Structure formats: structure tokens, C-alpha cells
Amino acid sequence: MWKLVHGSVRGTSHAQSGQPCQDYCAGTVVGTTAVAACADGAGSAERSHLGSRVAVERFMEEAARCSLESAPTRETIASWVDAARGRVLEEAEELGMTPRQLACTFLGAIVGETWAAFVQIGDGVIVFGGEAGYELAFWPDNGEYANTTRFLTDDDYRQNLRIEFVERSITELAVLTDGLQMLALDFGQAKVHDRFFTPLFKTVRNGPDEGILRTSLLEFMDSKRVNDRTDDDKTLLLATRNAPDVSPSLSDATT
């Protein structure tokens, strides 16, 4: 059985400027399949926090309508992303704004018993347990220039839509926005920073109920040692299929 916890915290830069948290995340379990989606609003986009929310909500709605006993096709997943983008465009039109004013990145994961499907536009990270440590679904897409990325609202979003399937059982999943990338990735070796994820997954697997875990997760992401490394909004979703192990605290995560 899956145990899933997620949350978002406003970055210190946004707290100082009075901007809202522009990240949004959701996760659920449908039968034996975990479904997760996260979006990160563009910092320069006036209503990107709304774009993030409606994109994630629509993707989750589309996934919930389907039978997830077997892996959805690439075309089906792409149609869910199309629907999420369409909802962002609808929201922009209702507000009398351009789609760019609601721009956001997008990450999604659907993990069944013996398969997984991952989808991503832009930066952010999807990590899952592998035979030789933690694996990365995609390296973050930072666009053509420094400090840029791809967005769901881009006209050419389909060209930058990445979908990947894994044909085996996965028991650990993490989805996070780019505010935590510097902690989660070893950029020198272009791989996952295992020491960041190991204590987090152990805590979720062996910890108390999701409500208490979520409080602990939010405290961890808003802690001084994390904020000293990043001033951006931070979102993290963690999911495990239970397999008892020694339980540390979320605060033991290496940062």
C-alpha cells in the first residue's frame, strides 16, 4: 500500500516581496496506482500561481477518469497534459490575461504495480528507486539560455513534452520543483544526490500518519539550513510502498 505526503512552502524571496507561493502539487492513490503532479509558476508571470493550480488539478482529474490497472499509452498521457494546458488557457481568458501571465512548468508521475510513466515540461525533478540507487526520470530542462526553462503555456510545448515509461515495480517516488534542485541533484556528476533522499523515504515509510508527516515535511522545507541554500518556492512529494526500515527524522536529510 502506498503512503504519500506532499507540500509546498513559499520561498524567502517571495515572502520578502509579498508574492504568493507559485508552486502547486497534488497526489493520490487510485486502487494500487499512485498519481502525482506538480507545477512551478514562472517567477515573472503575474498569475502563475493560478496556472500551476489549475494545470495540476485538471491533470489529476483526467487521470482519475481512467482505469489505471495497466499503464496508459503515451497518447493518453499527452492528452491529459493537453487538457491541463487547455485549462490554463481557459483561466487566462477568463481573467483577461495572456497565457504567458499564467506560465508554469509541469511534472507528472503515474506508478502502477509493475510499471511507471513520467511526464515533464521544463525544470524540476522526478526521482524513483532503482536497482543501483535513485534514478532520475529526466534531467531538468533549463531552456536555451541561462535561468530559463520551458513552460506548459509555450506555443511549442508539445516539442518539449517528455514522456518516459519504466517497466518494473517501483517502491519509492519523489517529485519536486526546481527550488530543491540544488539539494536533490549532484550537478558535478549529473546524478541524483542519494544522501538527500534516503532519510526522507525512510521517514515516510516508517513514520506516523500523513498529517503529521506533512507538518514535518513543511518544517523541513522551511528550515534555516534549506533556506540558506535556496530562496525559491519549494515543493516536494514523497511516496513509498511500505517496507519497514529504521526511521530517522525528516530533519536528518542531508542538505
To the nearest whole number, what is the mean pLDDT of the chain?
A: 91
CA separation (Å) from 84 to 55, 61, 87, 170, 231?
A: 4, 9, 5, 26, 28
- Look at residues 26, 44, 43 and name the one whose alpha carbon lies nearest to residue 35: 26
Pairing, β 191-192 against β 185-186:
antiparallel
- Look at residues 44, 48, 24, 161 and name the one whose alpha carbon lies nearest to residue 99: 48
Burial of 5 (C-beta count, 10 Å sphere; 0-12/13-18/19+): buried
Domains, the chain, ordered by start: 2-252 (3.60.40.10)
Dmax (CA) for the chain in angstroms is 53
Q: Which residue has the cell 504495480?
A: 113
Predicted confidence at residue 208, as pLDDT, reads 82
Predicted confidence at residue 194, as pLDDT, reads 92
Residue 253: band (very low, low, confident or very high) from pLDDT cuts 50, 70, 90:
low
Residue 88: band (very low, low, confident or very high) from pLDDT cuts 50, 70, 90:
very high
Predicted confidence at residue 147, as pLDDT, reads 59
CA distance 9 to 27: 16
Comparison of pLDDT for 46 and 35, the residue scoring more: 35
Q: What's the whole-number mean pLDDT along residues 93-122?
A: 97
